[in-house]
Amino acid sequence: MFTGLVEATGSLLAVTPTQGATRITIAAPELASRLRTGDSISVSGVCLTALDITPTAFSADLAAETIARTTLSLLQQGSTVNLELPTPAGSPLGGHVVQGHVDGTATLLALDPITPAAPATDWRLRLQLPPELTRYVVPQGSITVEGISLTVASLKGHEVEIAIIPHTYAATSLRTLAPGSLLNIEVDVLSKYAERAEKPAQVELTEAFLLANGY
């Protein structure tokens, strides 16, 4: 698993359609030397398997589900991506539980500085969530945006506001994105488990079930 604390950014070198899959290649000079073939790595919030590793880059194949659910196949050469290696067992959990299983994409509405004239300022991120994901988001709850563990400041309808500190702005891909960009979103998995637990089990009233239960 991951924690949503981005370790480094990388640069997309290529998106190459191949027979049966699409391969992406990413320049990652800060992390590539720590990878071994088959290792997991989070790329802008998507858990991928590292292949064809060099000292400064790696490749990964995108399954059809990944292409349909995330933004990775839409990125252009030179796009900045957020990178994180899995969290070793027993390590401090600095962000929150992030699986790298993207639930969908949101639209970036704005990313505005709070104090434009300041040398280092907080930022306010606004994004539009897909309606089907809104029920899993609560103010002051956790959400993963492009692989970054963030805290929801407010929720108005399907619009989410998030406070971004100067370090997060400088150290991640957020600074490279423009309004209208699509963002990979993973909601807090705990909220999905809570919803599942609240729903009563659905029983199919078949003849065999009725006989087995004395009807």
pLDDT in tens, 175-213: 999 999 999 999 988 888 887 777 665 656 576 655 555
Determine whether 181 is an active site residue. no
Q: Which two tokens stand for residue 213?
A: 């239960």
How many percent of the chain have pLDDT more than 70? Answer: 93
Determine whether 151 is an active site residue. yes
**pLDDT for the residue numbered 18:** 78
| List 8, 21, 56, 101, catalytic entry | 101
Q: Are residues 55 and 15 in the same domain?
A: yes
Tokens 């924690």 found at: 3
Determine whether 47 is an active site residue. yes
Domain count, the chain: 2
Residue bearing the bigger pLDDT, 143 or 21 = 143
Average pLDDT over residues 137-162: 96
Residue 213's Cβ-count burial label (10 Å; 0-12, 13-18, 19+) is exposed
Cα(204)–Cα(206) distance, integer angstroms: 6
pLDDT, tens digit, 9 for 90 and up, residues 16-56: 987 778 999 999 999 999 999 999 999 999 999 999 999 99
Does 203 map to a domain? no
| Distance spanning both ends of the chain, measured CA to CA | 47
**pLDDT for the residue numbered 21:** 82
Q: What's the domain range around 170? A: 104-198
**pLDDT for the residue numbered 75:** 92
- Residue 14 confidence class, pLDDT cut points 50, 70, 90: very high
Determine whether 63 is an active site residue. yes
Does 207 map to a domain? no
**pLDDT for the residue numbered 182:** 97
**pLDDT for the residue numbered 28:** 98
User: Distances from the Cα of 22 to the Cαs of 52, 85, 87, 104, 179, in angstroms?
Assistant: 14, 22, 27, 19, 27
Q: How far is CA 127 from the centre of its chain?
A: 14
Does 210 map to a domain? no
Q: Is residue 89 predicted with pLDDT exceeding 60? A: yes
The residue from 30, 54, 84 where one domain ends is 84
CATH of the domain at 189: 2.40.30.20
| List 37, 73, 115, 151, catalytic entry | 151
